[in-house]
């Protein structure tokens, strides 16, 4: 399964916020056996977001967006996705109820006790999703996610994104398996062995240097036995930690 990750946010591009969402999603998707084919960050620009989603939803099995959902002035991700699929935004009553319950809970109130006119935000704006989208309720916060065709949208707050992703994680499956080998060798001295293991086995190999731990070699493939055999072959030819 080929997946593309699109991170939305001016604050990410400005360096004000570290893009931990993309790295976390890439690792989780790899755990699921999916292949991350693209990662890109775009501004809070409706046309730019829509253009990327339109292109990537055709090119890949799934597209994941993080950020730009909600009811504030710069939250345009839902609008952009709606543009791609020629939909309009509608208020989902299940989502609206969940938003109200979250607001009430933050104020230690029962939902029926909440004065919606005085909460300081437009509940309908926060509950609006593209028509026909599958809502993804947020167990950790206010903003819902959604799925429309092969496009998945999650809020940008990491704890909320992660919690919602786990509710649909099983939809991102694939055949890729991976193993790692730690080594005491400098990365520059591994090129011969890495080239040789690629020639010997049908695998992909990457090397990752570290200044604080052992260097790593990661082996990926679609057959578990082949990947394990490649790991054993490599371990016999490089320097390993004692």
pLDDT in tens, 2-14: 999 999 999 999 9
Number of CB atoms found within 10 A of residue 120's CB: 6
Q: What confidence score (pLDDT) does residue 108 get? A: 78
End-to-end CA distance of the chain: 37
Question: Taking Cα atoms as reference points, which of 184, 197, 156, 205 lies closest to residue 10?
Answer: 156
Instruction: Return the closest-CA partner of residue 156 out of 170, 148, 145.
Output: 145
What pLDDT, on a 0 to 100 scale, did the predictor assign at position 126? 87
What is the DSSP pairing of strand 145-148 with strand 151-154?
antiparallel
Q: What is the pLDDT of residue 104?
A: 82
pLDDT of the residue at 178: 87
To which residue do tokens 């786990």 refer?
166
Among 180, 188, 191, 177, smallest CA distance to 240 is for 180
Query: Please, is 3 exposed, middle or buried when counting C-beta atoms within 10 Å of its C-beta (0-12, 13-18, 19+)?
Result: buried
Spell out the domain ranges in the chain. 2-171, 177-235
Distances (CA, A) of 216 to 2, 116, 117, 176, 232: 24, 54, 56, 18, 14
Residue 2 Cα distances to 6, 38, 62, 89, angstroms: 13, 9, 7, 28
Tell me, what's the pLDDT at 77? Answer: 96
Reported in sequence order, the residue ranges of the chain that DSSP labels E, i.e. its strands, are 2-8, 35-42, 62-66, 89-91, 128-130, 134-136, 145-148, 151-154, 177-183, 204-208, 215-221
Please tell me the predicted confidence (pLDDT) of residue 172.
92
Q: Where does residue 108 fall: left (phi above 0), alpha (psi -120 to 50 degrees), or beta otherwise?
A: left
- CATH entry 3.40.980.10 includes domain 2-171: yes
Backbone torsions φ then ψ of 98, nearest 5 degrees: -65, -40
Asked whether 65 and 33 are in contact (CB, 8 A), the reply is no
Question: CB-based burial of residue 169 (10 Å sphere; 0-12 exposed, 13-18 middle, 19+ buried)?
Answer: middle
Q: Which CATH architecture has domain 177-235?
A: 2-Layer Sandwich (3.30)
Q: Which pLDDT score is estimated for 176?
A: 84
User: For position 103, what pLDDT does the model report?
Assistant: 85
Greatest CA separation found in the chain?
69
What's the pLDDT score for residue 193?
93
Which portions of the chain are predicted below pLDDT 70? 112-113, 115, 117
């Amino acid at each position: 399964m080929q997946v593309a990750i699109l991170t939305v946010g001016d604050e990410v591009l400005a360096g004000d916020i570290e893009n931990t969402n993309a790295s976390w999603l890439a690792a989780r998707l790899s755990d699921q056996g999916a292949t991350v084919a693209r990662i890109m960050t775009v501004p809070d620009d409706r046309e730019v977001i829509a253009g990327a989603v339109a292109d990537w939803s055709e090119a890949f099995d799934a597209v994941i967006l993080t950020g730009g959902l909600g009811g504030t002035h710069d939250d345009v991700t839902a609008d952009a996705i709606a543009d791609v699929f020629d939909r309009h935004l509608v208020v989902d009553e299940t989502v609206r109820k969940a938003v109200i319950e979250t607001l009430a809970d933050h104020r230690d109130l029962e939902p029926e006790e909440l004065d919606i006119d005085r909460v300081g935000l437009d509940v309908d704006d926060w509950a609006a999703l593209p028509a026909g989208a599958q809502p993804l309720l947020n167990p950790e916060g206010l903003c819902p996610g959604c799925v429309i065709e092969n496009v998945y949208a999650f809020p940008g707050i990491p704890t909320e994104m992660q919690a919602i992703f786990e509710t649909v994680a099983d939809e991102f499956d694939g055949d890729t398996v991976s193993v790692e080998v730690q080594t005491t060798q400098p990365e520059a001295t591994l090129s011969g062995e890495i080239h040789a293991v690629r020639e010997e086995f049908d695998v992909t190999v990457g090397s990752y240097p570290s200044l604080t731990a052992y260097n790593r070699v990661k082996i990926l493939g679609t057959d578990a036995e082949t990947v394990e055999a490649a790991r054993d072959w490599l371990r016999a030819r490089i320097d390993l930690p004692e």
